[in-house]
């Protein structure tokens, strides 16, 4: 099994998927724009071959270089789990005659407006929205939809360049902030709780399913620096508040023609119980969500994803044992972190439920919280009950503080 894997070392979590592919028996041919010497030895050992390209985002150039590099070699799969490269992977599959989702199918997971159109055509509830390529179109769409609206990139990931707009004054401000984005979606802002629906699919059939809740919603967390955002996987999926969302997720997979691999979807549950589609990608969720899912079930989804794409198989026990929460921390002040207050007391009290402490150490320069959800590090905790997990998460959010100057 020869697998071309785009960007095997960046972002850093891609190293785990590279390992997973090698562990299920694949020969991994990596493609990236960094030098081979810059790839950590523990990842380099899993590569059968590596092609360094000048610009990994240059789809035409990369496709030509990969074709020339692979001439004479059998290629069985072309994969990428990084959002900016999923279309390139699909293009390479078509050029090389390799099985997997087509470019048009993957486009439905990447282009947010086309995505909503296809989901809506299947009779599913989506936010009312418009594709806009000019500020005049943005203004017209916002007035047509009616405030509040959500403005986001057509081909974005996470919540980058995504804003809730409540009135005309905010619209003018956000239009300036998003002027660099070539295409945006202006859509209805859906009031309600926000969840994920995550899967590993084999030929469109979920072999693993997960739901996590955002606390608070990402757009709120991106607005206020003092918030310690929490994402928590839900142990018990068979409950009334989640059933319709999971059903919606399965219907979306069918509507978009999902093949084999990870998916990460966001959906809303309104106060009246209605569920509304948000968006979906044919790749895993970021910000260590896969690690959370692993800790939820005590499995290795990096390896099981690889088994799915290589052999159309999934072997892990998917019994859900815990609710697993990640709490992202943002230091107070600017510059370098000089104090971490409350961590020792927290670990003394709740350490048994902590599965990963990954806060930036004292002396580190703090990160830009607007550019990365991971911010200045995180604590990851788990507990068999939802209430127990929330106790651990809330204490980490309130009692652990990083200071910088």
C-alpha to C-alpha distances, 212 to 14, 77, 126, 250, 345, nearest whole angstrom:
21, 30, 20, 16, 28
pLDDT at 82: 97
pLDDT at 159: 67
pLDDT at 307: 98
The SS3 call for residue 104 is helix
Could you say which residues of the chain have pLDDT below 50? none
What is the H or E stretch that residue 221 is in? helix 218-221
| pLDDT tens digits along 335-386 | 999 999 999 999 999 999 999 999 999 999 999 998 888 999 999 999 999 9
Phi and psi torsions of 325, nearest 5°: -115, 140
β-pairing verdict for 261-269 and 337-341? unpaired
How far apart are alpha carbons 341 and 244 in whole angstroms? 42
Report the 10 Å Cβ neighbour count for 105.
16
Spatial CA neighbour of 49 closest among 93, 92, 5, 100: 5
> Maximum CA pair distance of the chain?
60
Q: What is the CA radius of gyration of the chain?
A: 21
Contact present, 306 and 24 (Cβ < 8 Å): yes
How far apart are alpha carbons 396 and 228 in whole angstroms? 9
Work out the percent of the chain whose per-residue pLDDT is above 70.
Answer: 99
pLDDT at 157: 66
Spatial CA neighbour of 370 closest among 177, 194, 111, 193: 177
The SS3 call for residue 159 is coil
pLDDT at 281: 97
pLDDT at 222: 85
Chain center to CA of 235: 19
pLDDT at 370: 85
What is the H or E stretch that residue 198 is in? strand 193-202
How far apart are alpha carbons 308 and 63 in whole angstroms? 25
How far apart are alpha carbons 53 and 58 in whole angstroms? 9
């Amino acid at each position: 099994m020869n697998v071309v894997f785009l960007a095997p070392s960046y972002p850093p979590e891609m190293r785990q998927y590279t390992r997973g592919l090698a562990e299920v028996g694949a020969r991994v041919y990596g493609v990236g724009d960094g030098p081979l010497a810059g790839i950590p030895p523990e990842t380099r050992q899993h590569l059968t071959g590596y092609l360094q390209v000048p610009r990994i985002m240059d789809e035409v150039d990369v496709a030509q270089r990969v074709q020339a590099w692979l001439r004479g070699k059998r290629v069985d799969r072309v994969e990428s789990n990084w959002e900016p490269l999923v279309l390139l992977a699909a293009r390479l599959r078509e050029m090389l005659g390799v099985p997997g989702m087509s470019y048009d199918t993957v486009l439905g997971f990447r282009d947010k407006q086309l995505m909503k159109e296809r989901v809506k055509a299947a009779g599913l509830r989506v936010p009312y929205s418009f594709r806009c390529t000019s500020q005049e179109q943005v203004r017209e769409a916002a007035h047509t939809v009616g405030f509040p609206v959500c403005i986001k990139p057509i081909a974005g990931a996470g919540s980058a360049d995504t804003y809730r707009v409540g009135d005309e004054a905010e619209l003018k401000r956000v239009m300036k902030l998003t002027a660099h984005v070539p295409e945006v979606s202006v859509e209805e802002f859906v009031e309600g709780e926000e969840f994920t629906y995550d899967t590993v699919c084999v030929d469109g059939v979920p072999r693993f399913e997960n739901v996590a809740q955002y606390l608070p919603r990402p757009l709120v967390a991106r607005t206020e620096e003092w918030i310690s955002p929490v994402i928590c996987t839900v142990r018990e999926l068979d409950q009334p508040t989640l059933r319709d969302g999971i059903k919606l997720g399965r219907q979306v997979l069918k509507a978009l023609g999902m093949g084999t691999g990870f998916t990460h979807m966001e959906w809303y549950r309104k106060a009246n119980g209605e569920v509304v589609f948000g968006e979906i990608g044919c790749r895993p969720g970021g910000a260590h969500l896969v690690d959370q899912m692993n800790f939820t079930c005590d499995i290795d989804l990096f390896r099981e994803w690889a088994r799915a794409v290589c052999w159309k198989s999934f072997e892990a026990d998917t019994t859900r044992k815990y609710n697993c929460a990640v709490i992202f921390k943002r230091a107070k002040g600017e510059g370098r972190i000089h104090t971490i207050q409350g961590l020792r007391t927290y670990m003394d009290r709740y350490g048994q439920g902590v599965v990963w402490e990954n806060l930036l150490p004292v002396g580190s320069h703090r990160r830009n919280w607007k550019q990365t959800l991971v911010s200045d590090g995180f604590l990851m905790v788990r507990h068999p009950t939802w209430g127990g997990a929330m106790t651990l998460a809330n204490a980490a959010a309130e009692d652990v503080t990083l200071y910088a100057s």
